[in-house]
Structure 1
Amino acid sequence: MDGITKVFLGTIVANKDISLKIKKGEIHALVGENGAGKSTLMSILFGLYQPTKGLIKVNGKEVVISGPIRAGGLGIGMVHQHFKLVDNFTIIQNIILGSEPISKWQWINYKHAKDKIKAISERYKLEIKPNLKIANASVGMQQRVEILKVLYRGADIIVLDEPTAVLTPQEITSLLAIIEELKRDGKTIIFISHKLEEVKHIADSVTVIRLGKVIENFLAATKTKEEIATLMVGRDLVEVKNLGGNELGEVALKVKNLFVRKIDNKKIMGLSDFNLEVKAGEIVAIAGVEGNGQTELISTITGLIKPEKGKIFFGNKNMTHSSIQNLYKHGLSHIPEDRHKYGLVLEYNIIDNMVLQNISQYPFSKCGLIRSKAIQYYAQSIIQTYDVRGSKSGFALARGLSGGNQQKAVVGRELTRKHKILVVAQPTRGLDIGAIEYIHGRILEEKTRGNAVLLISYELSEVMSLADRIVVLHAGKITGNVNAKNVIRESLGLMMAGQTLEKGETKNA
């Protein structure tokens, strides 16, 4: 890619004179802050956007990539950060969409497709359920479907845009092994990631982009994670860690004898006899492999589903069968795992999205009339405080923002709202290291304000940095409830696998 510039609406410069050379059969990492222009640059390579200036050469030949079909014909495939899937289609229908194998009389040959998909999924250990509808598939499985779509089409140049952002640690290990296998097969990989451990582990070379410009190109082995981080954000980063020390208050959130059926399979219990207390000024983290009851717990506490049995209390008040609106009125804030499905109305602008739960309350409305100036002032203060880039002062549609900036908008809204209980799932998913540092700091501020925080994260480093106490879930049951200061990663791993540890095993050596 030579001298690529992309300008939106005549004023917004997403990429400025970017040149990028990637060798055949290498893994090239593309890193930078949220909104730096990484996804835009790769969308140009995939034909979703046309460059304002610049040219592209594939295997030494100049090409015009007019769209994704043309990109596919050139052997370019892209796994997007935000999945491009049809919810009411099955997994197999999504994988073959646009590349359906046709038999006699123009019937789709599903047997041929299934055999090919099965061979690919077994080779790369991408477990799926071919006949499951995407709407019922977990986030992790949807990610695997996106990867299979590219592999099914036989791409030689594969762009992976934040491919590990939604995966569990075990799935990440598996995916990195897949990427290395693809490299051995002669594939060229462009790997967009904010996780510098993964970049150092897997990349041959690295390009750092900041504010739409290339800052530096280098071999991955020549720089440390800290040096790459400094190039990304333009400053040194400070580690944010929960040091404890503050006095805890009364129990703010209590879950008692909770039984909940799995969302995607009502025949199975997602949570069984689950008990939990979170005190004011305390951060309790739920650790565990995805699919072990975390989603059911979040959905029940936030009113999205009702439990089979059990009770949920905010303070001394039973909120088990309260409406979602009532839960918010009694002090709930919720940062959801899936920002698209539960966090934003994508066709609304950012300003409107900032007051979704409170639009009927003063100062946002009065006597049933919306007060636009008050809404705009409130929303723009969140945008400024949380550095939500590309929002055009809040008037941009939520759909038009990068994934990281969408996440910052959701986090900003939920932390700014008046609340006593914060239920937060994957708060830093898709965020760059600078934004992660900032969000972690804001979550720790919840302690000093006397708010109760229930954190659900699949990132063990995040859990161990932020939590006062860690509760480990396996198959819907608690296998550990430990002080975060005294636990080691290996002990958490054993509990996540279903082993209940004996007293004393969680202490540091």
Structure 2
Amino acid sequence: MSSDTLATAKPAVELEGITKRFPGVVANHDIRITVQPGTVHAIVGENGAGKSTLMKILYGMQKPDEGTIRINGSEVGFRTPSDAIDAGIGMVHQHFMLADNFTVLENIVLGAEPRKHGALDTAGARARITELATTHGLRVDPDRLVEDLGVGDRQRVEILKVLYRGARILILDEPTAVLVPQEVEELFDNLRELKAEGLTVIFISHKLDEVLSIADAITVIRRGTTVASVDPREVTARQLAELMVGSELPKPETRESTVTDTVTLKVSGLTMEASGYRPVPKGTSVGLYVDRLRAEGERLLLEDVSFEIRAGEILGIAGVEGNGQTELIEAIMGMRPAHGEISLRGEDISPWSTLRRREAGMGYIPEDRHRQGLLLEGSLWENRVLGHQTRPPVRRGIWVDRRAAKADTERIVKAYDVRTPSVDTLALALSGGNQQKLIVGREMSGEPRFLIAAHPTRGVDVGAQAAIWDHLRAARAAGLAVLLVSADLDELIGLSDTLRVILRGRLVAELDPSDITPERLGGYMTGAITGTEET
């Protein structure tokens, strides 16, 4: 779109005086944002600042109590997302909403299937998808199963899905949260293509350096209202962070080594079949059994994974999502059977249940706090009990001690700065950052010996991020052994004492965090660089 056309075009989106109240909370207050057509407009702010509520209003998922919305100069009132889609708005959520057992084509047309003589017009759909993919630089294979796709490919499918429905305004919620640097660059190339075609992108992110590199305009939201609109060419990441939270941008730097000689966790030969666990036949070694599986064409989710973590050490696992990190975590926690041996402080815990492992001192910050970390309909104190129901202070005899559980939740709320009216508040009422701080506080309780931290700061603002990093560093200094899995490469490099790279279920490199860049680490993660560097 030319500059002359932009100058005369009506704004793609105008939000004026948007206010949304919930019981006891004003989520949005007098929000004012103008988004020009054919631009990438970034919206940044802390968790709980009101960004998600605002996007839900724009996408028709919630109705504002006050204010007006104009799309291309015309006032609108959305009752459902269908109304927003009809107005040319599409939203790509942070957690992808694709059916793994469907093909790319089936996912894209789902709910908007083209018909010909009463049947699905597959040829017409394929032609339309191919045209969209070519026009916007979004390469996909329509016939591939989504479960076989990497994260970057899945994101392209999500974008094509909204374009297929005619979207001219795209809302992208934390689109780079799970991407490696090379995939981020590909996404940004795609967004530039979309912009060149006249489409408008609303880009929500916590990664301020990325916002500055892709955005044409930035709006900062703090405590539910707009506090600044800035030109990315005239502001730094630190200045942007100060506008968001009133403090400097934190860095995940761990300077002094606290690694001891005491091995806390030892993993030996961990192997997992894709088709399901089968016991190793008697008289056969695990190695021979794995060779046999490989000869039979069995796909291995984990293959001969071995490592040690010492007290006071953070071992970082880097890898593009879907390369075995989840399976590794589930095997260590006893949630999924695998071959090989897992030892905690010299004791073989391979046959133990998840509960027994937890009781022995294993903490777990899960990668998806909503699915695996919280009961959203439960109160904060009830969520404090989860996974700790057999141990003090929440256990008394055969009963849960409510008073003690509430008192300890109060301690966590204070120590971890969980912003909540009460420990009786439902978890769903908290912002993502406060939910995460509650989980971190819970898992640090009871003096764990070993902690799995899976994406501990995903989707949290810079303030909560800094707090979580501080707690991990303090626990490490006190002798905690940590397995850190993260898609944030700066976080991995900054916090880890040792880095291992996982690719297709195998550990393929051991790297020195003090001598590696995010770009080189991304090369190892994608297989573009092979071999092991000195540590």
TM-score of the pair, normalised by structure 1? 0.90
Structure 1 match to 2:16: 2
Which residue is equivalent to 1:477? 506
Secondary structure at the aligned position of 1:380 is classed as helix
Structure 2 equivalent of residue 341 of structure 1:
371
Correspondence 1:355 to 2:369: no
- Per the alignment, residue 67 of structure 1 pairs with 80
Q: Work out which of the residue numbers 153, 160, 173 in structure 1 matches 2:185.
A: 173
- Whole-angstrom CA distance in 2 between matches of 1:488 and 1:451: 26
Contact 1:24–1:186 (Cα < 8 Å) also in 2:
yes
Q: Offset at 1:270?
A: 2.4
Matched, 1:374 2:388: no
| Secondary structure of 2:336 counterpart | coil
Match status 1:223 vs 2:254 = no
1:431 CA displacement: 1.1
Task: Find the residue that maps to 1:191 and give its secondary structure.
Answer: strand
Residue aligning to 1:202: 214
CA 328–55 in structure 1, closer or farther in 2 if over 3 Å, else same? same
Relative distance call for 1:487 and 1:192 in structure 2 (3 A) is: closer
Matched residue type, 2:332:
I
Counterpart of 2:170 in structure 1 is: 158
- 1:291 is displaced (CA, Å) by 2.7
Q: Is the 8 A contact 1:259 1:274 kept in 2?
A: yes
* Structure 1 residues 87 and 356: alpha-carbon distance in aligned structure 2, compared to 1, 3 A threshold: farther
For residue 389 of structure 2, give the secondary structure of its aligned residue in structure 1: coil
1:277 aligned to which of 308, 329, 350: 308
In structure 1, distance between residues paired with 2:379 and 2:96: 21
Question: Mapping of 1:28-427 within 5 angstroms?
Answer: 28-84=41-97, 92-105=105-118, 107-121=119-133, 124-125=137-138, 127=140, 132=145, 143-262=155-274, 267-307=298-338, 309-389=339-419, 391-427=420-456
Give the percent of matched residue pairs that are identical in Structure 1 and Structure 2: 42
Q: Structure 1: which amino acid aligns with 2:211?
A: V
Q: Residue 413 and residue 433 in structure 1: after superposition, are their counterparts in 2 closer, same or farther (change >3 A)?
A: same
Alpha-carbon deviations, 1:58-105, whole Å to 9, x = none?
111222122211111111111223445567876655433332222323
CA contact (8 A) 1:292 1:476 kept: yes
The aligned amino acid for 2:302 is L
Q: Which stretch of structure 1 is more off in the superposition, 115-124 or 229-238?
A: 115-124
Measure how far apart 1:121 and its partner are.
4.7
Q: Residue 490 of structure 1: CA displacement?
A: 5.3
2: CA distance, partners of 1:193 / 1:260: 35
Q: Deviations over 1:398-457 (max 9, x none)?
A: 344443333333223222343110111111110112221111111111211101011112
Q: Which amino acid aligns with 2:486?
A: S
Contact 2:181 2:518 in 1 (8 A): no
Determine the structure 1 residue equivalent to 2:33: 20
1:21 aligns to what SS in structure 2? strand
The letter of the residue matching 2:433 is G
Q: Aligned equivalents of 1:332 and 1:352: distance in 2?
A: 20
**Aligned residue type for 1:165:** A
Q: Tell me the distance in 2 between the aligned counterparts of 1:128 and 1:420.
A: 46
Q: SS of 2:326's equivalent?
A: helix
Q: Give TM-score, length-normalised by structure 2.
A: 0.86
3-state DSSP of counterpart to 2:323: coil
- Tell me the SS of whatever aligns to 2:83: helix
RMSD: 2.7
Q: 1:114 to 1:300 in 2, by over 3 A?
A: farther
Q: Secondary structure at the match of 1:199?
A: helix
Distance change in 2, residues 1:502/1:458 (3 Å) = closer
Q: Which amino acid aligns with 1:451?
A: L
Q: Give secondary structure in 1 for the equivalent of 2:61.
A: coil
Matched residue, 2:5: none
Three-state SS of the structure 2 residue aligned to 1:373 is helix
Cα displacement string for residues 300-356 of structure 1 (whole angstroms, at most 9, x for unaligned residues): 11112111x311111111111211101101111111222233222333333322211
313 and 127 in structure 1: CA distance in 2 versus 1, 3 angstrom threshold? farther
CA deviation after TM superposition for structure 1 residue 118, in Å: 4.7
Secondary structure of 2:124 counterpart? helix
With over 3 angstroms needed to count, the CA separation of the structure-2 counterparts of 1:484 and 1:3, relative to structure 1, is: same
The answer to whether the 8 Å contact 1:302/1:327 transfers is yes
SS in structure 2 at match of 1:341: helix
Q: Which runs of 5+ in 2 are unaligned?
A: 1-14, 278-296
Residues 151, 321 of structure 2: 8 Å contact kept: no
Residues 148-206 of structure 1, C-alpha deviation per residue, up to 9 Å, x if partnerless?
32122121111111111123333222212111111111011111100011101100111
Q: Distance in 1 between matches of 2:130 and 2:416?
A: 44
Q: Is the 8 A contact 2:264 2:310 kept in 1?
A: yes
Following superposition, the deviation at residue 299 of structure 1 comes to: 1.7
CA distance in 1, matches of 2:206, 2:262: 38
- The CA distance in 2 between the partners of 1:392 and 1:98, in whole Å, is 41
Alignment partners' CA distance in 2, 1:350 and 1:94: 37
Residue 304 of structure 1 aligns with an amino acid whose one-letter code is: M
Q: Are the counterparts in 1 of residues 511 and 533 from structure 2 also a CA contact under 8 Å?
A: no
Q: CA deviation at 1:392?
A: 4.3
Shift of 1:286: 1.2
State how far apart, in whole Å, the 2-side matches of 1:476 and 1:89 are.
24
- Stretch deviating more after TM superposition (294-303 or 192-201): 294-303
Q: 1:272, 1:476 within 8 Å by CA — same for their partners in 2? A: yes
> Would you say the 8 A contact 2:181–2:519 is kept in 1?
no
Pair 1:84–1:496, CA change in 2 (3 A): closer
1:371-418 per-position Cα deviation (integer Å, ceiling 9, x unaligned): 2222222223323433444x5424444344443333333223222343
Q: In the aligned structure 2, how far is the partner of 1:205 from the partner of 1:494?
A: 31
**Do 1:263 and 1:296's aligned partners in 2 also have CA atoms closer than 8 Å?**
no
From the superposition, tell whether residues 129 and 316 of structure 1 become closer, same or farther in structure 2 (CA, over 3 Å): farther
Q: Distance in 2 between matches of 1:396 and 1:146?
A: 34
Tell me the alpha carbon deviations over residues 466-502 of structure 1, each in whole angstroms, 9 at most, x when there is no partner.
0111112233333322332244445534433444447
